[in-house]
A = this chain, B = another copy of it.
Amino acid sequence: MNRRDQPIGVFDSGIGGLTVVSALRELLPNERIQYLGDTARVPYGGKSAATVERYSLEITCMLLEQNCKAIVVACNTASALALTMLERTIAVPVVGVIRPGAEAAVAATRNRHIGVIGTRATIRSGAYERAIRALDSAVQVSARACPLFVPLIEEGWLEGEITDRVVRQYLQPLVEDGIDTLVLGCTHYPLLRNAIGKFLGNSVRLVDSAENCARAVSHLLRQENLQANPGTKGELAVALTDPPDVFLEVARNALRLEMGEVVLRPLVPSK
């Protein structure tokens, strides 16, 4: 098989990475996408760096067995903690969500004060700060972990009084700090875009790490001459390490994603 016809492998700790898939499908409709969500061990967001590295490598290897031409780490926690290791370890190109999000944020800010929200592990890693400061060392970064956002989204409470109050609780301090740009540093968060936008109004620009990651993938494929032939019919295959929970339906509906039957690919038991 020609390398260009091989699928793009996309992984996340669970279902949230489908926001990246949705952006990829829109931008690159000819590509075949193989998605693998590690629902047996979701979430990665509260776990240690060593554990997230190990899980990320295992899941990546399962995608490489399917002959993927590139790997997209559609998970901020895994991008923050495991991307460098993956780049060093595997032979196909790897794209994460952090650098593209940092680049878009630096391009968007006017007052050079950027907010970043994400899981505890992503924020604790400081990965966005480092990526932003590497681009412009004069930018100030205010970061905040928002651990309630993922469960709110997975419950399907994308709007309403409770969601509005949780959004305010987490984001009010960032607004008071004076940010003019906010990076949605978790692939779940685009599903809360409306509630977050309603609270922030027009004064703060939202940077969606899913959209920017898709642009980086498109750029990479062009650069490496790996784009699918324009005549190819793109498609999406979704596999999970544990049977899907209700959140798959929430995401499928919110993102209007077409996918075939979801395949179960269990992890091999620990010895």
Contacts and interface: CB of A to CB of B under 8 A. Distances in A.
Interface stretch (A16-24, A217-225, A240-248): A240-248
A262 to B, nearest CB: 13
A154 B147 CA distance: 9
Contacts of A246: 120
A58 interface: yes
B147 A151 contact: yes
Contacts of A270: 58, 267-271
Given A46-B245, A120-B245, A162-B165, 7 more contacts: A39-B46, A40-B41, A46-B154, A120-B246, A148-B151, A148-B152, A148-B155
Interface string A159-173: 001100110010000
Interface residues of A, number: 35
5 contacts: A41-B41, A47-B242, A147-B155, A270-B270, A270-B271
Interface in A15-42: 39-42
A162 B169 contact: yes
Contacts of A152: 148
Contact of A42 (B46, B50, B266, B268): B46
A264 B55 CA distance: 18
Interface in A246-268: 246, 266-268
A187 to B, nearest CB: 17
A172 to B, nearest CB: 13
A48 interface: yes
Contacts of A41: 40-41
A51 interface: yes
Contact of A269 (B48, B54, B148): B54
Contacts of A48: 40, 242-243
Nearest to A264: B48
Nearest to A46: B245
Contacts of A46: 39, 42, 154, 245
